[in-house]
Structure 1
Amino acid sequence: MHPIVKPALRRGWRDLDTVQFGMTPAHAMVLGPVDTATGGFLELLDGTRGMPLLREQGRRMGLSDGHVDALVDRLAGSGLLDDTTGGGPAADALREKKEVVDRLRPDLASLSLVARRPGGAAGRLAARRRLRVQVRGAGRVGVVLASLLAGAGVGEVEVRDLGRVEPWDVAPGGLPVESVGERREDAARRAVRRAAPDRPPRAPAGGRGTEGTLGLSLVVLAPRDGLGVHAPDPASAEDLIVSGTPHLYAGVVEATGVVGPLVLPGDTGCAGCLDRRRADRDPAWPRLVAQWRSGRQRRVASCDLALAAAVAGLAASHALAFLDGDPAAVAGVRREASLPGCEWRTTPVRAHPACPCGTARKTNGERTPEDGGAHETMAGRQPHAAQLAGTWRAHV
């Protein structure tokens, strides 16, 4: 182990014997009391020294080996330390690709704040290179989202769609203007390839499937027609439910951005559950949906660039959290934001007992949050800055 105090956290001394790592309440920690020798020793935790050398230099500063080991253990346990040599063989192989690592350094720094154990960030980043994600929809949201996933290190991101690129499909970070008139899938493939830091490592034989859902870690449904995310057709995800493939909805409809739900088949509500819950609340819902889906008028969706980019970014963030193994905030919920205010609202997508997905029967008896309790902003769940010292103080 070559420990390093996580460089992503800015450091500042609150007083002579109390040091604060980090600025934001979500990730900051206050450490104290810290004596002069220990404060000096913290400067040695820069990732260039292994534990034997740290113990030797600690002795020169008057710190016993036991004190050094205990300090490193406490810092690691509190999530303040990373390991510049950790993460396993896959992370070692990634570190040999200097140009790739340089492209991904901001992502690695961000991961270090959510992966608490030393070496966890490099391990997660290396694991992304083995994943396969499919995005269904090559519009302003879908291609930008796919490019974000590829740029963040996901090994294989494929985009599926029909038809040819229209002028209104063009978006910064997505399809370029030069692609107008080309097949959407071909143009999207090139956009994703440009965003990726390198080509993914070769998968084991049989590890990937070119058709269906074989080998997919996640499918993102990002239809160009906003109706497909506002009132998703359960039939469009039937293959995903049957195969047990996690899938996430994202899109824009009538100047309203939608992210979620992330459907974990058998564990969370699906598009069919959403449809049946709406019909329970509004008897006219099935009639309206039938009319919307039968319309044949050709129209350009109300999907402005800024809102599409916001939806793509939020959906990509939740997708990466799920792929990295963190509990995804949109599992079983939808987030919506409408112009001009663009304030995100969260509502649950509860399993329906009549839905063929069977989730309600599996989760029968489990407590389900009521609609009113789900309208909670992310900021509302974070400790207030004034509580930071008392909440996260660690003594060494």
Structure 2
Amino acid sequence: MHPVVKPALRRGWRDLNTVQFGMTPAHALTLGPVDTATGSFLELLNGTRGPALLREEGRRMDLPEGHVDQVVERLARAGLLDDSRGGGPEAEALREKKEVLDRLRPDLASLSLTTSAPGDAIRHLVARRALRVRVKGAGRVGAVLSCLLSGAGVGEIDVRDGGRVEPWDVAPGGLPAEAVGDRRDESARRVVRRAAPGRPSRRRPTTPPDEGDPGFSLVVVAPRDDVAVHAPDPATAEPLMASGTPHLYVGVVEGTGVVGPLVLPGETGCAGCLHADRTDRDPAWPRLVAQWRSGGQRQVRPCDLTLATAVAGLAAAHALAFLDGRTPSSVGERWEVSLPGLRWRTRTVRAHPACPCGAAAKGEPEHTPEDGDRRATMAGQWPSAEVRREAVTARSAGTWRAHV
């Protein structure tokens, strides 16, 4: 290992003997007491030296025998160290693609904050490049979201939609003005390719037409139809439920942005659960939905540009969290924000006993965005047991402590 103190964390001295790594409460840790020699040694943890050279430097600085290894081990346990050469052969291959990695460096630095073990951040980044995501919908929300996922390093983004690009589909970061009149899905795929920082060298199979294909790690449902955003049709999700494909709902309806739920088929509340719950609370709900779906459609639906962009960004963040193996707060929840107040709130989507998805019989798993990990696989399924990231707070003889 070539240890490097995570550069994403700013460093500052709280006093002469206590150093703080990080500024925000979510990630900040303090180290103390730190003598002058150890403080100087921390500057050498910049990724250019291996263990042998670090020990040699420690001897030159008159550090006690074994002190260098002890400092490195404790920093690693606290989640403060990365490995400048870690991640395995695929990570090394990515490092050789300098232009690609330079595009992804901010994302890599961010991943270093949410991973603990040295080398984990670049392993996550490499893993993204092998994933396949389908986005159903290429409007103001879907197209921008697709580009964000592509730009963040997801290997394949397959966008599906019908019709041709209309002037009101155009959005910064999404479909460009010159695409007006072109096929909407083809235009979206072009901008997705332009957003990609690079692609894996291996060749992937042609994307099959079935939207329930289990080869997708995630399907994002981003309809341009506002009724489909407000009242997702359980019938359209049947192929996804049958194949066990995780899927995330997102969109804008009448000045309200919606992100979620992220459905884990058979485990968490789905579109059918949402419909059944609303029917329980409002017997007129099915009648209203039927009228909304069959009534005359407006040519242009309300979709504020800034709201759509904010929704696309949050949805992309939730999607990436899931793809990176975590459980975002949209699992079993709908995040909503409305103009003009713009206050985000959550609405729980509980598994309903009347829904054929079966999630209610199993019982929904407890999850929190801070400590819950769940890994999406290339087969579009996940292990039944959650993989929980160990909360690292190193306490050795009162020397290491988390900063609150």
TM-score by length of 1: 0.91
Matched-pair contact (CA < 8 Å) for 1:138–1:185: yes
Displacement, 1:201?
3.0
* Residue correspondence of structure 1 range 18-167 to structure 2 within 5 A: 18-167=18-167
Q: Secondary structure at the match of 1:191?
A: helix
CA offset digits 1:87-120 (Å, max 9, x no partner): 1221111111000000001000101000111111
Q: Report how far residue 368 of structure 1 moved.
A: 10
Question: SS of the counterpart of 2:360?
Answer: helix
Who is 2:271 aligned against? 271
Runs ≥4 in structure 1, deviation > 6 angstroms? 366-369
Q: Which moved more, 1:47-56 or 1:192-201?
A: 192-201
Partner residue, 2:208: 210
Aligned equivalents of 2:87, 2:367: Cα separation in 1: 37
Query: Offset of 1:363 from its aligned partner?
Result: 1.5
Asked whether the 8 Å contact 2:267–2:358 carries over to 1, the reply is: no
Q: Retained in 2: the 8 A contact 1:22–1:29?
A: yes
Identify the residue that residue 7 of structure 1 maps to in structure 2.
Answer: 7
Could you say which residue in structure 1 is the equivalent of 2:168? 168
Cα distance between partner residues in 1 of 2:195 and 2:117: 29
How far apart in 2 are the matches of 1:147 and 1:314? 13
Query: Are 2:5 and 2:46, in contact at CA under 8 Å, matched by a contact in 1?
Result: yes
**After superposition, what is the alpha-carbon deviation per residue over 1:215-247, rounded to whole angstroms, capped at 9, x for unaligned?**
100000000112212110001111000000000
Cα distance in 1, alignment partners of residues 134 and 242 from structure 2: 17
1:347 paired to 2:347 = yes
Whether the 8 Å contact between 2:261 and 2:332 is mirrored in structure 1 is yes
| Contact kept in structure 2, 1:134 and 1:216, CA below 8 Å | yes
Deviation of the 1:3 alpha carbon: 0.4
Secondary structure of the structure 2 residue equivalent to 1:141 = helix
Q: Secondary structure at the match of 1:331?
A: coil
Distance 1:291 1:394 in 2: 56
Residue deviations 1:245-296, cap 9 Å, x none?
0000010000000000000011110000000000001111111111111113
| Structure 2 residue aligned with 1:372 | none
CA change 1:335–1:394 in 2 (3 A) is: closer
Partner of 1:377: none
The code of the aligned residue for 2:401 comes to: R
Q: Percent identity?
A: 72
State the Cα distance separating 1:300 from its structure 2 match.
Answer: 1.1
In 2, the alpha carbon distance for the partners of 1:291 and 1:125 equals 46
Q: Which runs of 5+ in 2 are unaligned?
A: 369-397
Matches within 5 A, 1:315-354: 315-354=315-354
SS in 2 for 1:4: strand
1:347-386 matches, within 5 Å, as 347-363=347-363
CA distance in 2, matches of 1:184, 1:200: 26
Verify the 8 A CA contact 1:32 1:394 in the aligned structure 2: no
RMSD: 1.8
Structure 2: distance between partners of 1:6 and 1:186? 40
Is 1:244 paired with 2:252?
A: no
Distance 1:367 1:83, change over 3 A: closer
Equivalent AA in structure 2 for residue 47 of structure 1: G
Instruction: Give me the whole-angstrom Cα distance separating, in 1, the residues matched to 2:367 and 2:40.
Output: 51
CA distance in 1, matches of 2:98, 2:5: 22
Contact 1:153 1:197 in 2 (8 A): yes
Residue type matched to 1:274 in 2? L
Judge conservation of contact 1:90–1:127 (CA < 8 Å) in 2: no
Offset, 1:367: 7.4
Are the aligned partners of 1:130 and 1:203 in contact in 2 as well (CA < 8 Å)? no
Aligned length in residues: 371
Query: Which blocks of at least 5 consecutive residues in structure 1 are unaligned?
Result: 370-389
Paired amino acid for 2:137: G
Give the conservation status (yes or no) of the 8 Å contact 1:132–1:156: yes
Compared with structure 1, are the counterparts of its residues 18 and 279 closer, same or farther at alpha carbon in structure 2 (3 Å cutoff)? same
Distance 1:24 1:108 in 2: 18
Verify the 8 A CA contact 1:337 1:345 in the aligned structure 2. Answer: yes
| 1:246–1:265 contact (8 Å) kept in structure 2 | yes
